[in-house]
Amino acid sequence: QVQLVETGGGLVRPGNSLKLSCVTSGFTFSNYRMHWLRQPPGKRLEWIAVITVKSDNYGANYAESVKGRFTISRDDSKSSVYLQMNRLREEDTATYYCSRDGYDKNYAMDYWGQGTSVTVSS
Amino acid sequence: DIVLTQSPASLAVSLGQRATISCKASQSVDYDGDSYMNWYQQKPGQPPKLLIYAASNLESGIPARFSGSGSGTDFTLNIHPVEEEDAATYYCQQSNEDPPTFGSGTKLEIK
């Protein structure tokens, strides 16, 4: 079955960096765009980044709130997607999710990981 | 960015009755005759779960008491008959245009 497992969250000081990982299984990872999203406590979901597949040159797109600070990447050989987060701010505090892009479902996000919590605080 | 306005913010529905949630987009999320509106269910401490994609298509494994309708800018999620396990927050999401955006959520309580 399809599984996505995020790791790498934790407590970090403002201005510091953190790298999240999302290891997947149960599907042909290289065929799918992958997303990162986040959800601050008690708030709505916010999409933050997407990475395309090899045939689209692994293109990436970002939300304005993280552009220039966060970098999404992938390693198809490890069926994994990553989120490098630099210059973290208190407002980046959230649960971070990776999700699969359902290209055959009008790009709905059809599978999600359980999430990893990131707290940015001094 | 496309803004999605969900209503109501919360509702309480008796067991076995109908729950109706609305989602209005600030611009059309249709393209080439297809709607790019999706619905998710999220329970506390859990990730979102896809219920409905392309406005009205039921995701595999989701009970048939969930249904979606609409096109253009106006969409609806219906749950009938409501069961205890449906207590959750429901989000609409558009996938027609980057960035993908979500509604503010509707919290469903079962009476």
- Judged by CB atoms closer than 8 Å, whether chains meet at B98 and A108 is answered as no
The pLDDT of residue A35 is above 90: yes
Token digits for A73? 């990447």
For A110, which of B59, B98, B105 is closest by C-beta distance?
B59
Q: Give the strand pairing for B101-102 and B88-94.
A: antiparallel
The pLDDT of residue A23 is above 90: yes
Instruction: Identify whether the C-beta of residue B70 lies closer than 8 Å to the C-beta of residue B41.
Output: no
Token digits for B62? 């989701």
Token digits for A11? 């407590």
What is the maximum alpha-carbon separation in chain B?
41
The pLDDT of residue A77 is above 90: yes
Q: Which amino acid is at A80?
A: S
The pLDDT of residue A69 is above 90: yes
Q: What is the pLDDT of residues B19-75, one digit of tens each?
A: 999 999 999 999 999 999 999 999 999 999 999 999 999 999 999 999 999 999 999
- Span A34-63, average pLDDT: 96
In chain A, what percentage of residues exceed pLDDT 90? Answer: 97
What's the burial of A100, exposed, middle or buried (CB within 10 Å: 0-12/13-18/19+)?
A: buried
Token digits for B107? 């919290």
Token digits for A69? 């600070």
Residue A15 — pLDDT band, cuts 50, 70, 90? very high
Query: What are A's interface residues with B at a Cβ cutoff of 8 A?
Result: 35, 44-47, 50, 61, 63, 97, 102, 105-115
The pLDDT of residue A103 is above 90: no
The pLDDT of residue A27 is above 90: yes
Alpha carbons A122 and B19: distance in angstroms, whole number: 43
Three-state SS string over chain B comes to CCCEEEECCEEEECCCCCEEEEEEECCCCEECCEECEEEEEECCCCCCEEEEECCCEECCCCCCCEEEEEECCEEEEEECCCCHHHCEEEEEEECCCCCCEECCCEEEEEC
- Span B95-108, average pLDDT: 95
User: What are residue B58's DSSP bridge partners?
Assistant: B52
- Span A92-118, average pLDDT: 96
- Judged by CB atoms closer than 8 Å, whether chains meet at A105 and B57 is answered as yes
B48 touches chain A (CB under 8 A): yes
At A74, which helix (H) or strand (E)?
Answer: strand A70-75
Alpha carbons A101 and B95: distance in angstroms, whole number: 10
- Judged by CB atoms closer than 8 Å, whether chains meet at B48 and A112 is answered as yes
- Span B10-21, average pLDDT: 97
Closest to A33 in 3D by CA, of A85, A88, A90, A102: A102
Q: In Å, what is the CA distance from A61 to each residue of A68, A117, B70, B85?
A: 11, 22, 29, 36
B-chain CB neighbours of A46 within 8 Å are 102
